[in-house]
Structure 1
Amino acid sequence: MSLRPPPRTDVAYELPSTIKSLNDGWLSTFQTTAAASGLFAVVEVVLLNFIKDPVHYTHPHTRAARQALLVFSYCGLLFSCSATISSLVLTDEFGELPVRASRKSDPIKQGLFDSSSASLLEVYGARRSWRWLMWHWLLSLTAAIACLITQILIYVWIEEPFSVQ
């Protein structure tokens, strides 16, 4: 068993301005959506309690419509929680990027790089798995929003007068 020495960290290292800008943009996005998807989860819990209470239904409706409301409510809660966790993990990933970059020799000596911004971030220390997690986060967030909108539409369809529909 070989013990590797801890990596050397250049504590005075600063990310190049382009990399810092990309990193800051992603960090801001993930921090904001962590809060937003957390709020979506709270809204889903409130809606779940509302949907389960028969007092909130005045018009005759089908059992299938109420079941659909429950399914979309649980799915929305699951997707919201998933998006929140993904956002927090990605926030941590990009928060550590400057430290990881400070442990590498500058990979781009000439200042030119022919590739995507995602590849550029990976050269400076972002793990390759961040792309998969980013897609998971985006799909979870989109699905959570779609579930919320669908719940509202179903409730309006079964409870509101025809003029509102």
Structure 2
Amino acid sequence: MAEPDSSTARLAPSAIYPNNISGVGLQDPYNYVLPPVVEAVRQGWETTLRAGLILSASLTVSSLLLFIAISLSPAGGNSAAHAALEAFSYGSIIFNAGGAIGAFVLLDMLGDLALTASRGSLPSSPEDRPPEKSVVILRNHGVRRSWNLMMLHWAFISHTGMASLFVELVLYAWLTQKLAAKVASVVFTAVSVLPLLVVSLAG
């Protein structure tokens, strides 16, 4: 029996790519849909990161309350164990706050996944590609003119608030605590903040 021609058994590009606009497996960038497996992985990570953000934020508050209780406690104020307890208190606050911020940054990256992937499905012609920034897409599709101003306001106050928290903790440690807590506050802050700065600057 003659084998069927493999060329006739192949599916047309339009059957493989439901959003096909050019007949060669390319998709309309504004109707781009992530493959089901990729979307499932993205949603799984999004759920995990949202839970991690809530958990880290809750632990930050708990750590802060515990730190206040430790600071007000006179027992063992001059002992090495109490100094270590103060140092770990700073670490708990800083690391949990850093974990919440890190989860927020990763969630923001996941939000850009479809936009980034859609560019890879397009020809090299610049006019066929979506804008590089999601903000431009929103503006082109009717978002209010005040969006940019409010977005900049939110970004400024949130980043300033994050930076102020870490600076406040470090300064408080240097002004009131023993050497162990001072060193720990600086080291823990550097470990928590530097990776976030690198990711933010890398874009």
| TM-score, normalised via structure 1 length | 0.53
Contact kept, 8 Å, 1:9 with 1:99, in 2: the verdict is no
Show the 5 A alignment for 1:43-122: 43-54=62-73, 57=75, 63-105=79-121
> CA 1:103/1:74 → structure 2, altered by over 3 Å: closer, same or farther?
same
Deviation of 1:38 after TM superposition, in Å, equals 0.8
Deviation of 1:22 after TM superposition, in Å, equals 0.6
Question: Take 2:41 and 2:57, find their aligned partners in 1: how far apart are those partners?
Answer: 24
> CA 1:74/1:9 → structure 2, altered by over 3 Å: closer, same or farther?
farther
Question: Take 1:54 and 1:17, find their aligned partners in 2: how far apart are those partners?
Answer: 55
What secondary structure is seen at the aligned counterpart in 2 of 1:39?
Answer: helix
Which deviations, in whole Å up to 9, do the C-alpha atoms of 1:114-159 show, x marking residues without a partner?
Answer: xxxxxxxxxxxxxxxxxxxxxxxxxxxxxxxxxxxxxxxxxxxxxx
**What residue in structure 2 maps to residue 128 of structure 1?**
none
| Matched pairs, number | 96
Specify which structure has the bigger relative contact order, considering alpha-carbon pairs within 8 angstroms and separated by 6 or more residues: 1
What secondary structure is seen at the aligned counterpart in 1 of 2:81?
Answer: helix
Contact kept, 8 Å, 2:53 with 2:104, in 1: the verdict is yes
* Larger Rg computed on CA atoms: 2
2:44 is aligned, of 19, 25, 40, to: 25
What secondary structure is seen at the aligned counterpart in 1 of 2:29?
Answer: coil
Amino acid in the other structure paired with 2:83: Q
| TM-score, normalised via structure 2 length | 0.44
Root mean square deviation of aligned Cα? 2.1
Deviation of 1:54 after TM superposition, in Å, equals 2.1
Say which structure is richer in helix.
2
Aligned structure 1 segments of 4 or more residues deviating by more than 2 angstroms: none
Contact kept, 8 Å, 1:9 with 1:103, in 2: the verdict is no
